[in-house]
Structure formats: structure tokens, C-alpha cells
């Protein structure tokens, strides 16, 4: 799944770089919280979730062809405006969802364990959760975080 998402964004970016006149619409069924930003970074013209109706989809395609962009609003869940997580906090939460320890998270993100602990405290304060594992379970089960998905533009 990670590979598919990565390939889609890389392909979209390459299309837009080579042929900026081509309009690109990405459709996904996954509400992962970083998808919209990744599509914008790839200079996609429009982004839509699979659950949109046929008439709405046709309208989005038509308006995109006319030069307008359509992107859904960011999901209003545990990551509402009041609980907006920073990129580092999302990375930490994603790694928690992958069952990484604080030490492993610190090594992977080139942070100290104390800094990771502080970020986890901030994540909990922002989201209202009292336990990072409960938050991780909620984030994965609701589709807000898809483990093993990194915000990268090119494969390593």
C-alpha cells in the first residue's frame, strides 16, 4: 500500500513537471491524514475520496479541466484545528502505530529520547488522550494513520 501511494505521488509529480498543461486528479479510498498535503506537494490539480457520487466526480473532473482545483477539507477528528499536530508529531504517532519504542523513534527521527517523550506529551495534550497507545489504536482503526507510510516523494 505504501508503495502504491508513493508511486502515485511520484507519477503525478513527474507528469506535472513534464507536462504542466495536463490536469491531474487523484482519487483514494484511504482518509490518511497526510494524503492531501502530499497531493498538493506533487502539484496535483484535484484530490477526491472514492466515496464521492458519480455526479460530484464528474463535476470535479469538469471543473478541474476548466482550471479549478478541488481538495477536501482536512478531516475533523482527533486532529481538529485545536489538535493540529506538527509534522514531527505525526511522524512520532505513525512510528508509535508501528509499535516502535521511544528509543527506536528517537533513532529513526534523529531526536533524543527526552525530545520524543516531550512530543508525545504534547500529542496527548493536543488530542485529549491520556495514553499514546490508545491514541494509536484510534488513529489506525479510524484510518487517520496508515502505518508504514512516510511522507516521502521518491523511493529510497
According to the model, what pLDDT value does residue 82 have? 45
Are 30 and 54 a contacting pair, CB within 8 Å? no
Enumerate residues 6+ apart whose C-beta is below 8 A from 15.
22, 24
pLDDT per residue as tens digits for the range 6-51: 566 678 888 888 998 999 998 887 666 677 778 888 889 988 888 7
According to the model, what pLDDT value does residue 75 have? 52
pLDDT per residue as tens digits for the range 64-115: 998 888 887 655 445 655 467 888 998 999 999 999 999 999 999 999 999 9
**Residue 153: pLDDT above 70?**
no
Q: DSSP letter at 81?
A: G
According to the model, what pLDDT value does residue 125 have? 84
**Strands 25-28 vs 46-49: parallel, antiparallel or unpaired:** parallel
Closest CA to 56 of 70, 67, 44: 70
* Confidence band, pLDDT 50/70/90 cuts, at residue 152: very low
pTM as predicted: 0.53
According to the model, what pLDDT value does residue 6 have? 52
Amino acid at each position: 500500500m505504501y508503495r502504491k501511494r508513493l508511486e502515485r505521488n511520484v507519477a503525478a509529480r513527474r507528469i506535472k513537471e513534464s507536462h504542466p498543461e495536463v490536469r491531474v486528479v487523484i482519487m483514494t479510498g484511504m482518509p490518511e491524514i497526510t494524503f492531501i498535503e502530499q497531493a498538493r506537494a506533487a502539484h496535483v490539480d484535484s484530490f477526491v475520496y472514492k466515496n464521492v457520487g458519480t455526479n460530484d466526480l464528474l463535476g470535479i473532473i469538469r471543473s478541474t479541466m476548466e482550471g479549478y482545483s478541488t481538495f477536501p477539507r482536512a478531516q475533523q477528528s482527533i486532529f481538529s484545528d485545536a489538535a493540529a499536530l506538527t509534522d514531527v508529531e505525526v511522524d512520532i504517532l505513525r512510528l508509535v502505530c508501528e509499535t516502535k519504542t521511544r528509543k527506536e523513534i528517537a533513532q529513526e527521527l534523529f531526536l533524543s529520547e527526552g525530545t520524543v517523550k516531550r512530543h508525545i506529551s504534547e500529542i496527548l495534550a493536543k488530542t485529549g488522550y491520556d495514553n499514546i497507545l490508545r491514541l494509536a489504536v484510534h488513529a489506525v482503526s479510524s484510518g487517520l494513520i496508515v502505518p508504514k507510510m512516510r511522507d516521502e516523494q521518491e523511493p529510497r
